[in-house]
């Protein structure tokens, strides 16, 4: 996939979604990507690496503790990891094989976070990217994960 296509996929989340407009995007088929990527900005996109940033949205915190939901963090490892693999020319989107995330700290609403995807390997069959999430100001890492895909299958993309 060329960098512009990857950029467009990531930019789906560019607008911030206010609670009262979730309804507006909820009928799109890519609602869940849209929701979890909301307000995202691309800082760097180059073959093998993506750096993007966003403000933790209030509607994506967990109910116990009021910080970024662990499921959203895992979803960001999923999406940004996949898009990072696409920057080095994967011809197919493949399917996920494994996602893992280690949680190191909390990210609170309105905090600016930075998400860094880095290709570890993209072969014909197996692709792997690491994804690190950190506070944009302090650089403090709050989660690190990896996403492994089996790439030798076609999808609709």
Summarize as ranges the residues that interact with a second copy (CB under 8 A).
Answer: 12, 19-20, 22-23, 26-27, 29-33, 35-36, 59-66, 69-72, 74-76, 78-79, 93, 95-106, 120-121, 125-126, 128, 130, 141, 144, 146, 148, 150, 152, 155-157
Q: Are 121 and 105 a contacting pair, CB within 8 Å?
A: no
Q: Report the residue number, 45 or 128, with the smaller CB distance to a second copy.
A: 128
Local structure of 11: helix, strand or coil: helix
Q: Report the residue number, 45 or 74, with the smaller CB distance to a second copy.
A: 74
Q: Which residues contact 14 (CB under 8 A, 6 or more apart)?
A: 39, 40, 41
Distance in Å, CB of 69 to a second copy, minimum: 5
Q: Are 78 and 117 a contacting pair, CB within 8 Å?
A: no
Distance in Å, CB of 51 to a second copy, minimum: 18
Residue 147 CB coordination number (10 Å): 26
Q: Which residues pair with 46 in a beta bridge?
A: 49
Inter-CA distances, 94 with 39, 43, 151, 156, 157, Å: 26, 26, 4, 10, 10
Distance in Å, CB of 43 to a second copy, minimum: 22
Q: Report the residue number, 50 or 101, with the smaller CB distance to a second copy.
A: 101
Q: Report the residue number, 30 or 46, with the smaller CB distance to a second copy.
A: 30
Q: Report the residue number, 35 or 51, with the smaller CB distance to a second copy.
A: 35
Distance in Å, CB of 133 to a second copy, minimum: 11
Helix (H) or strand (E) holding 149: strand 141-150
Distance in Å, CB of 125 to a second copy, minimum: 6
């Amino acid at each position: 996939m060329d960098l512009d296509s990857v950029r467009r996929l990531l930019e789906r989340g560019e607008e911030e979604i206010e609670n009262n407009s979730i309804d507006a995007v909820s009928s799109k088929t890519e609602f869940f990507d849209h929701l979890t990527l909301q307000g995202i900005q691309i800082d760097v996109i180059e073959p093998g690496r993506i750096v993007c940033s966003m403000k933790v949205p209030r509607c994506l915190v967990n109910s116990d503790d009021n910080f970024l939901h662990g499921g959203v963090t895992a979803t960001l490892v999923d999406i940004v990891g996949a898009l990072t693999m696409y920057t080095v020319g994967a011809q197919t989107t493949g399917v996920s094989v494994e996602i893992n995330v280690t949680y190191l700290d909390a990210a609170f609403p309105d905090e600016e976070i930075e998400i860094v995807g880095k290709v570890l390997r993209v072969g014909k069959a197996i692709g792997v990217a690491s994804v690190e999430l950190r506070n944009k100001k302090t650089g403090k890492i709050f989660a690190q994960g990896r996403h492994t895909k089996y790439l030798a299958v076609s999808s609709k993309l």
